[in-house]
Amino acid sequence: MNHVAKLSLPLTNLDTAEGRTKEVLEAGKKSAGGIPNMYAGMANAPALLDTYLHGYQLFRRESGFTPAEQELIFLTIARANECKYCVAAHSFIAEAVSKTPQQAVQAVRYDGPIEDAKLAALRTFTQVMVASHGKPTEEQLATFLAAGYSEKNALEIILAIAVKTISNYSNHLFHPALDAKFEGHAWAPAV
């Protein structure tokens, strides 16, 4: 069995960070209300964390999706990428902040059907975009549009995929421990 490599770089913190690293960590703390373990690893490459934070904030602020839809998109991508940290984090945010229907959250976490037809179409199209590397069929795009979404929304899903790929892949290399507030939403892929 192959095990995923783990970087030996230390988790960074504001007490020891300097220069650009400290600047980016402070921005992360401001946006998240603290420094999640994920940020502490990513800050070893300040441009990586800065790019993540910028894209994440733009998606949250400018996408045409509701907070619940945004969370469903992020959760779907994290689940597709088998990122234990981000599935737990976005499950917590879905419940505590975005008010994503719990049935939909559990369906994404455990690969079940979503009862809400529009959210189901959003999840399916997001899965298609990840699995096809951004090459949906005409029929898949038409189904997404028929559910009430727009072509602009399809582009916004690309932004979400870019942001989550940064965090998911970084987490795969760092194996960060779940922050205490996410522990109640721990998740692992089926074996």
What pLDDT shows up at residue 38?
97
Decide if pLDDT at 2 tops 90. Answer: no
CA distances from 58 to 19, 43, 108, 178 (A): 24, 19, 24, 25
What pLDDT shows up at residue 148?
98
What confidence tens digit (pLDDT) does each residue in 22-70 have?
999 999 999 999 999 999 999 999 999 999 999 999 999 999 999 999 9
The one-letter amino acid code at 40 reads A
Decide if pLDDT at 190 tops 90. Answer: no
Class of domain 19-185 (CATH, top level): mainly alpha
- pTM, two decimals, is 0.96
- Cα separation, 170 vs 176, whole angstroms: 9
What are the extents of the domains in the chain? 19-185
What confidence tens digit (pLDDT) does each residue in 71-90 have?
999 999 999 999 999 999 99
What confidence tens digit (pLDDT) does each residue in 171-184 have?
999 999 999 999 99
